Structure 1
Amino acid sequence: MQPADKKALISDVGEKLVRRHGKQKHYKPAQVRRAALDAGYIVDVHCWAYCFFCSAADFLTWHQARGETCDYAAMKVELARDLAGETGSFWFDVDLSWLDWPDVDLSSIFDWFDVSP
């Protein structure tokens, strides 16, 4: 996915999750899947939403149950770079919830609600 497409996915899925389940640090994969489907995204791109909105443990469990191997840390760092527009050196704590990202301005992605915890 291109960075702009990832931003749209995260914004659309995030809005549905918050409207349905309230603002949470992490959502369950089934909640993310339903939000992504309802937003009109094909299953092939849901993994980006899982890595953004689910805990690392839930992400891993979801993929293992399906016999898939996805690298949570690598995907989350790539997603953080794309969302932040970073191109140079970039430090990022992959264990942080989407609500706790300290140095990444998400206001352009989540302009539909206040992302401050």
Structure 2
Amino acid sequence: MGKSCAPAPTNKKEYISDLGKILVNENGKKKYYKPEEVRKAHRKSKWYDGLNFSCWGMSTFSSHSDFDKYHEETGEICDYGEMKTEMLSGLSVSSTADWTEIPDIDIDASWLDFGDVFDGLLEGIGEFIGGIFDGI
């Protein structure tokens, strides 16, 4: 029987922003990052204090298939859609009323692919949100 992933970071928006900056600086802009790239970025971040919740970053920055393959290999039981939904909901739980006030993290926001999260109901919204971030 597999083990569950660690609890999610408390400040999801800040975690996504910090991890995104490290990923871009270390690996360049990509649509998706490999789980190992996300793990390395997590270890380099201020969030690494012995608690490894990098799979929450993987749910945001890795492809669904890479996420599933990684968790199959590690034996961890994690749900990509649920975790990605929780992480991205952390972006909307913000005191920032205007998208233009969100700090520029200089990343390709195409990873905001909500199709996996909502089983295609909101297909294309990731590109829309990506366009907003690209315009900041």
TM-score scaled by length of structure 2: 0.62
Partner of 1:79: 87
- Residue 102 in 1 paired to residue 110 in 2? no
Report the Cα offset of residue 7 of structure 1: 1.5
Counterpart CA distance in 2 for 1:83 and 1:19 is 21
Give the C-alpha shift of residue 47 in structure 1.
Answer: 1.3
Q: Sequence identity of aligned pairs in percent?
A: 35
Q: After the TM superposition, which segments of 4 or more aligned residues of structure 1 sit over 3 Å from their partners?
A: 103-106
**Residue 57 (str. 1) matches residue 56 (str. 2):** no
**Offset from partner CA, 1:24-79 (integer Å, 9 cap, x none):** 11001111110110113244311110000000000001111011110000111111
Gaps of 5+ in 2: 1-7, 95-113, 121-125
Residues in 1 aligned to 2:33 and 2:9: alpha-carbon distance in whole angstroms:
24
Structure 1, unmatched stretches of 5+, are: 87-91, 107-114
Q: Which of 23, 40, 49 in structure 2 is aligned with 1:34? A: 40
Aligned counterpart for 1:17 among listed residues 13, 17, 23: 23
The match for 2:115 among 83, 88, 93 is 93
1:77–1:94 CA contact under 8 A, matched in 2? no
For 1:67 and 1:74, the matched residues in 2 are separated by 18
Contact 2:9 2:53 in 1 (8 A): no
- 3-state SS of 1:73 partner: helix
Structure number with higher relative contact order (C-alpha < 8 Å, ≥ 6 residues apart) = 1
Question: Shift of the alpha carbon at 1:2?
Answer: 5.6
Deviation at 1:13, TM superposition (A): 1.0
Q: Which has the larger radius of gyration?
A: 2
Aligned-residue offset at 1:105: 9.2
Partner of 1:116: 134
